[in-house]
Structure 1
Amino acid sequence: MDKQKKLDEVLHAKLNLETAQMKWSELERFFASGSLVTVSSQLDLVEVAVRFANDDKELVVQWLTQGQIAKVSDAQAQAWQAADEALWTVVVKPWILVQEQQRQVH
């Protein structure tokens, strides 16, 4: 196993442990400062965090272009505020990556 792959695995494990659910009311101040990035449910939140931490500009730009990651919009913030939505979060300074929880279908 090459060194970078091993480092990525360690970083992935670390970020996975730092991932937490937070209510929107706890995140609003970070939205106001422009530091929230929403991650599509099609992507693995922790893997996106690893790519941010590694400054993988090519992949981040690809996700931005495809609309799979984006700054949280005013409309999205209002919807989350109305429901005081709980979101998955992980910090990769200066960003806080957020992802909606998957709804269980019964």
Structure 2
Amino acid sequence: MNQPRMDLREGSRRQWVSENAGLTDAQLKSGALLRIADACEKMCLDREMLERDYKHMRRSRDQYRDLYETERKRSAGLKGYIKRLQKVIEHFKVES
């Protein structure tokens, strides 16, 4: 009567319509509990993966946000420099 765990898991998945289906009530309950435990472990692994992905995405977002701000400030500085050069060029055109 001592069956391996996998048989209990698989056996607890079947639909039971008669009492002579092969597993006792205790074995059926044990198989169901094993399946519940497997599902809980999988949920924990999925959550750990989600947390890792979330941390990675936040780091990437922060890195690209910093890069964007740096380039925006650099672009604004270059625009100001171009305007000053245009004014100097206009000033020389007026004097000539």
TM value normalised by structure 2: 0.23
Structure exhibiting the larger radius of gyration computed from Cα positions: 2
Normalized per residue, which structure has more strand?
1
TM value normalised by structure 1: 0.22
